[in-house]
Amino acid sequence: DTGVSQDPRHKITKRGQNVTFRCDPISEHNRLYWYRQTLGQGPEFLTYFQNEAQLEKSRLLSDRFSAERPKGSFSTLEIQRTEQGDSAMYLCASSPTPYYEQYFGPGTRLTVT
């Protein structure tokens, strides 16, 4: 049984560069969620998908952020023109049904220098 996987686990980038993260959910889960976590805080919601449809985006998701789930399986989160404030842990979670348990991946730690 494979859980949620994320790649890369760590990313160091210079300010102004673009970065892309990948999430592979648990295979039978049609819900996929992205969260961001900064030091000392709980995860904060960014966006979620039901299959390939993006159903909600947080105000945290500025115009520099875009997420896709083109075939309803894996998802990508892209950050353009990164800023130091983007440094955080980016977490992906999946769920088989709405308003149910969400299972998290190991996260991608982004450091913007």
Partner 1 sequence: GQQLNQSPQSMFIQEGEDVSMNCTSSSIFNTWLWYKQDPGEGPVLLIALYKAGELTSNGRLTAQFGITRKDSFLNISASIPSDVGIYFCAGHLQGGSEKLVFGKGTKLTVNP
Which residues contact partner 1 (rule: CB under 8 A)? Answer: 4, 6, 31, 33, 35, 40-45, 48, 55-56, 58, 91, 93, 95, 98-107, 109
Cβ proximity to partner 1, 56 vs 83, nearer residue: 56
DSSP character at residue 52: T
- The distance of closest approach from Cβ of residue 105 to partner 1 in the complex, given in angstroms and rounded to an integer, is 5
Tell the smallest beta-carbon distance from residue 56 to partner 1 (Å): 5
- Taking 3-state DSSP, the helix, strand and coil percentages for the chain, each rounded to the nearest 5, stand at 5, 50, 50
Instruction: Answer positive or negative: Cα dihedral of 50, 55, 19, 42.
Output: negative
Q: How far is the CB of 36 from partner 1 (least distance, A)?
A: 11
Q: Shortest approach of partner 1 to residue 85 CB, angstroms?
A: 17
Q: Cα 15 vs. chain centroid, distance in angstroms?
A: 19
Q: How far is the CA of 51 from the CAs of 25, 72, 93, 94, in angstroms?
A: 11, 4, 13, 11
